[in-house]
Amino acid sequence: MTHENLNRYLRSRRREIEAALDRWLSPGTGRPVSLVRAMRYAVLGGGKRLRPVLTLAAAEAVGGARARMRALPAGCAIEMIHAYSLAHDDLPAMDDDEVRRGKPSLHAKFGEATAILTGDALLTDAFAVAARTGRGIEPARTVRILSEIARAAGSAGMVAGQVRDLESEGRARPGRRVVETIHRQKTGALLRASVRVGAISVGAEAAELRRLSAYGDAFGLAFQIADDILDEVGDAALLGRPGGGDRAASKATYPAVWGIDRARAEVRRLAAVGRRSIQSFGRRGVVLGSLFEHVVDRAS
């Protein structure tokens, strides 16, 4: 897939995702105006939509392009959970970031109480959105999707990773296993779930799901390493915030443990794992392959 074709794909899918998010975050009966405003700021204010794009691409790999719309609620639910996690991570008691994507972070804009409550609302509403996957697929699959999302985001997933990350701060240089556990939980689990729920939404068989999980695993870890490399290299323009921040807080990152070159090699190794995992999907898996290449390119 050419760079241009991938970009065209991304633009088209992002449009679908943004339209769906816009619908689910519209003013509705009982929603306070101020809360809706803050939720929309947190979710609709930019972002690459990587997670729901993965969901749609996985659904297409299994069921073809037309099947993808069935995976849209699950993908949007995951994007809302991603947005909540950023809102809470930025809080003064956590990473204390005033800037996110080149704009004031949620609490900098609306105050701390609203930022906490907005995160809570996005996390909760995500499950109401995911429960609507039910339209058109068997309820048992919807239950499975909700369960996958909850486990990926919860006390043995994303939140666990954030807890470990905070606990590792300022400690002596962490070992590779610690760093990998943090990465797998903090960002890997939700990225992996993004791929899996897309496949489950369109009725993937066990073997297909296994292969896509391997892809999602490799993708999740590679993505985080690439992010840390970018941070280390300090490309402030791309990140929308000053580079080197993670090193400054002596956080657990691959480049800090291994150095940039070995971290880049690890991203390439993981990309090969990802490629192999989706080989059997043939042409239908091309988008997933290109998305992984895109991650590798970012880290190069």
Residue 44 within binding range of its own copies, rule CB under 8 A: no
Contact at 8 Å (CB) between 53 and 9?
A: no
The residue within the footprint of its own copies, chosen from 105, 142, 187, 253 (CB under 8 A), is 142
Q: How far does Cα 36 stand from its chain's mean position?
A: 22
The residue within the footprint of its own copies, chosen from 2, 4, 11, 113 (CB under 8 A), is 113
Q: What's the Rg (C-alpha) of the chain? A: 18
Least gap, CB of 227 to its own copies (angstroms) = 21
Site for its own copies in 177-216 (CB under 8 A): 185
**If DSSP codes are grouped into helix, strand and coil, which group holds residue 99?**
strand
**If DSSP codes are grouped into helix, strand and coil, which group holds residue 251?**
coil
Calculate helix-pair angle for 206-233, 260-278, nearest 10 degrees.
160
Contact at 8 Å (CB) between 51 and 274?
A: no
Burial 1-26 (b: 16+ CB within 10 A, else e): eeeeebeebbeebbebbbebbeebbe
**Which phi and psi angles does 136 have, rounded to 5°?**
100, -10
Residue 164 within binding range of its own copies, rule CB under 8 A: yes
Residue 170 within binding range of its own copies, rule CB under 8 A: no
Q: Single out the segment in contact with its own copies by CB under 8 A; choices: 86-94, 207-215, 233-241, 262-270.
A: 86-94
Task: Name which of 167 and 297 has its Cβ closer to its own copies.
Answer: 167
Q: What is the DSSP string of 56-94?
A: HHHHHHHH-GGGGGGGHHHHHHHHHHHHHHHHHHTSTTT
**If DSSP codes are grouped into helix, strand and coil, which group holds residue 148?**
helix
Residue 120 within binding range of its own copies, rule CB under 8 A: yes
Residue 28 within binding range of its own copies, rule CB under 8 A: yes
Task: Name which of 64 and 92 has its Cβ closer to its own copies.
Answer: 92
Residue 136 within binding range of its own copies, rule CB under 8 A: no
Residue 108 within binding range of its own copies, rule CB under 8 A: no
The residue within the footprint of its own copies, chosen from 47, 52, 73, 157 (CB under 8 A), is 157
Residue 88 within binding range of its own copies, rule CB under 8 A: yes
Task: Name which of 98 and 297 has its Cβ closer to its own copies.
Answer: 98
Q: Single out the segment in contact with its own copies by CB under 8 A; choices: 3-11, 117-125, 226-234, 260-268.
A: 117-125
Q: Single out the segment in contact with its own copies by CB under 8 A; choices: 122-130, 172-180, 281-289, 292-300.
A: 122-130
Q: Single out the segment in contact with its own copies by CB under 8 A; choices: 8-16, 66-74, 124-132, 287-295.
A: 124-132
Task: Name which of 14 and 31 has its Cβ closer to its own copies.
Answer: 31
Residue 140 within binding range of its own copies, rule CB under 8 A: yes
Amino acid at 250: S
- Where helices occur in 90-188 by DSSP H, the ranges are 106-110, 112-130, 139-153, 158-168, 176-183
The residue within the footprint of its own copies, chosen from 45, 134, 234, 243 (CB under 8 A), is 134
Residue 154 within binding range of its own copies, rule CB under 8 A: yes
Q: What is the spatial distance between Cα 90 and Cα 241, in angstroms, rounded to a whole number?
A: 12
Q: What is the spatial distance between Cα 161 and Cα 158, in angstroms, rounded to a whole number?
A: 5
- Where helices occur in 90-111 by DSSP H, the ranges are 106-110
**What are the residues binding its own copies (CB under 8 A)?**
28-32, 34-36, 39, 84, 88, 91, 93-94, 111-114, 116-117, 119-121, 123-128, 131-132, 134, 138-140, 142-143, 146-147, 149-151, 153-157, 159-160, 162-164, 166-167, 185
